[in-house]
Structure 1
């Protein structure tokens, strides 16, 4: 049965890897790869300059401990499907072997992020601790060990049918305390949370001897993780498996007022639909909001006129470029079939949405740039120029695509 469990998991793993390889060619295209390379260069440059004049009065150990405690709570990936709760029931007694492979997969699929964080944080603590590294080695080891024992505890916790929020709260406290003691107190007692988590895992394992496999919970969790991945990919290409959802945001009601009767026509219909779909949509709005926040943080943090100008322009370009995927989701949906209108009207409404979005983002970037570098504030107009050129390019391609479809 161990061999069969391993073969089943390997088959599921090959299937999901094949799917990711297919979508990765849309994600890591030329534009996005160039954006990532420039972002990496800007980060290295800004990080190096910041370390030269780093403020000493900030408790970096506490901040890092909190952030790393969050990243150390790895999700448990079982790769189970909805039909498994029926067809794998005869296999239930041997699902322990399957879960062992899923725990290893969950760990190694995310450990790369921990390694990157270890590398990024090393210069910071090397500088503020007078170039000593002994304590940091202990911290790095904890970052590699704690996520795995956290996964072991998570599996026993779920099997015992306990709530997820209690587990995450407990792990956060243990992880953060262990990291903080290693970074701030620099004591070997930082391994105490590891011993406690291992002991708690063994105790629950003993209690779970006669517990049934939590099919519903594991399948629901895997479906949620997979859906989150689809939501991310959907910003780059169409994902057939993704279901659209809507969220009420009352603070955006002012821009979603019902149009006057004279505006109920094909000239204004698609602008209204695009704006409403964007404001009420759960995925696109959140991703664009996160990109804008990240851009503003980088612009303030880097504190270099030219680099800040480049970063803002890149984010303006990427945001508007990725919004092109939003067009295909709406233009080929239900409304064009219910109320047919020329393709030019659909593109016109989408173009108006992009210009409104560009103006809002451009104003935010310009204000931040003007406050940070008042002597060079007029250079902030570059954000609007980049936005205008990007929209022109996007609309031109859309019109060409519609021409090909029409032929």
Structure 2
């Protein structure tokens, strides 16, 4: 006899324990410092923007846009395993309590997004609508929490529909209905908001009616869970070794050829070649490297003050360096690394030199951003400070972290 309640308790305890173990590596001291700096700077500039907010700023559209996104984004963690297709699928009718618990868990976990959104949008709302009371904004918050639960239920019902196009249409219609519902509420058009709310719940009922004709798509639920956990493991793998993560290798022949064709076939270049193709062909490093470069360039471009630009440029160099540090540990479980006729100092030097080259590319690109916005003197200053930062950081932190363990 399957005890659905005890089964969920066992799996949720295991899941929380595993996630918490990796979160302590993700939110280490380096990332915490960077996040505090980013939040403080973001809050400062948010306040500056609100102080100069134009009267015709589309606050209602902006708020409705983000509210609707939060409502239709409903990942459901069922904690199902591949073996459940064999051992639990025949007992699906006795697992209603298990799935209700999974749905409630997913709902309460997602509420932090609602709280963050309400906290971020509150200054914008009261700046644009100073005559509105806090009670009305609280009503919007309660409505957001209420509709979040209904959207979670509809998402669960639609998991019974195997046609992906039907699910995409469902999400699109729900997004539009809830976007305009919040828009009319914020602009005090309550009649239109009421009509759209009724239409929305009729659409919810239609989703329930469609799903009642189908059974759960267990294979898709398991696949969704695996995709979410794989994304989490990829993030955690930037900070520590994750044995559950299956590394994906991509060919990328052109990039490999560009980076390796000028390397000589000498013994001391062995690790240089290895670290270069690892960065390019691995599924984790190149995408992260390019994303940080793009985001850093946009941040530098849009920030108004020179020293803030330079500080953020150095901050993104720091973040990139910390993420690239994981390349050193990429091959640590491969015993054949010890068979290379390469001394440990040679391996360390090859790694540090490659990371420096990658970081210098970022410095040059950020310098081009400074030139693009018309400040050649700032570009020269950043190139100098960035180069000093790279040399100092790699000489101190990287060489310390790559010392052989006693």
TM-score (norm 2): 0.86
> Which residue of 1 is the match for residue 88 of structure 2?
88
* 2-structure distance, mates of 1:155, 1:345: 55
> Which residue of 2 is the match for residue 170 of structure 1?
173
> Which residue of 2 is the match for residue 189 of structure 1?
192
Runs of 4+ in 1 over 6 A off after TM superposition: none
Rate the CA distance shift 1:71–1:293 in 2: closer, same or farther, 3 A: farther
Q: What pairs with 1:109-124 in structure 2 (closer than 5 Å)?
A: 109-124=109-124
* 2-structure distance, mates of 1:68, 1:364: 35
Q: 2:263·2:273 contact (CA, 8 Å) conserved in 1?
A: no
* 2-structure distance, mates of 1:292, 1:201: 42
Q: 1:274·1:330 contact (CA, 8 Å) conserved in 2?
A: no
Rate the CA distance shift 1:152–1:120 in 2: closer, same or farther, 3 A: same
* 1-structure distance, mates of 2:69, 2:191: 22
Shift of 1:218: 0.9
* 2-structure distance, mates of 1:192, 1:363: 55
* Structure 2: unaligned runs, 5 residues or longer: none
* 2-structure distance, mates of 1:283, 1:8: 34
Shift of 1:13: 1.1
Shift of 1:174: 3.2
Rate the CA distance shift 1:386–1:87 in 2: closer, same or farther, 3 A: same
Shift of 1:362: 1.2
> Which residue of 2 is the match for residue 97 of structure 1?
97
Shift of 1:131: 4.7
Q: 2:67·2:179 contact (CA, 8 Å) conserved in 1?
A: yes
Shift of 1:184: 4.9
Q: 1:236·1:325 contact (CA, 8 Å) conserved in 2?
A: yes
> Which residue of 2 is the match for residue 394 of structure 1?
397
Measured against aligned partners, the alpha-carbon deviations of 1:135-191 in whole angstroms (never above 9, x if no partner) come to: 644543443233322221111111133324334333333343333333456545335
> Which residue of 2 is the match for residue 75 of structure 1?
75
RMSD of the TM alignment (CA)? 3.0
Q: What pairs with 1:5-154 in structure 2 (closer than 5 Å)?
A: 5-56=4-55, 59-72=58-71, 73-133=73-133, 136-154=137-155
Rate the CA distance shift 1:378–1:160 in 2: closer, same or farther, 3 A: closer
Measured against aligned partners, the alpha-carbon deviations of 1:352-378 in whole angstroms (never above 9, x if no partner) come to: 221121112112333334555836444
> Which residue of 2 is the match for residue 330 of structure 1?
331
* 2-structure distance, mates of 1:298, 1:359: 18
Q: Which moved more, 1:5-14 or 1:265-274?
A: 265-274
* 2:79 counterpart SS class: coil
Rate the CA distance shift 1:74–1:284 in 2: closer, same or farther, 3 A: farther
Measured against aligned partners, the alpha-carbon deviations of 1:96-146 in whole angstroms (never above 9, x if no partner) come to: 222211111111112112211111111112222345357644543443233
* 1-structure distance, mates of 2:52, 2:106: 39
* 2:330 counterpart SS class: helix
Q: Which moved more, 1:360-369 or 1:33-42?
A: 360-369
How many matched pairs?
Answer: 400
Rate the CA distance shift 1:81–1:62 in 2: closer, same or farther, 3 A: same
TM-score (norm 1): 0.86
* 1-structure distance, mates of 2:194, 2:245: 42
Shift of 1:223: 0.9
* Structure 1: unaligned runs, 5 residues or longer: none
* 2-structure distance, mates of 1:40, 1:373: 28
* 1:110 counterpart SS class: helix
Shift of 1:81: 1.0
Rate the CA distance shift 1:30–1:398 in 2: closer, same or farther, 3 A: closer
* 2-structure distance, mates of 1:78, 1:119: 29
Shift of 1:262: 6.7
Shift of 1:340: 5.0
Q: Which moved more, 1:342-351 or 1:365-374?
A: 365-374
* 2-structure distance, mates of 1:144, 1:55: 30
Measured against aligned partners, the alpha-carbon deviations of 1:180-216 in whole angstroms (never above 9, x if no partner) come to: 3334565453355554444334344345446333211
* 2-structure distance, mates of 1:98, 1:275: 47
Confirm or deny that 1:273 pairs with 2:274. yes
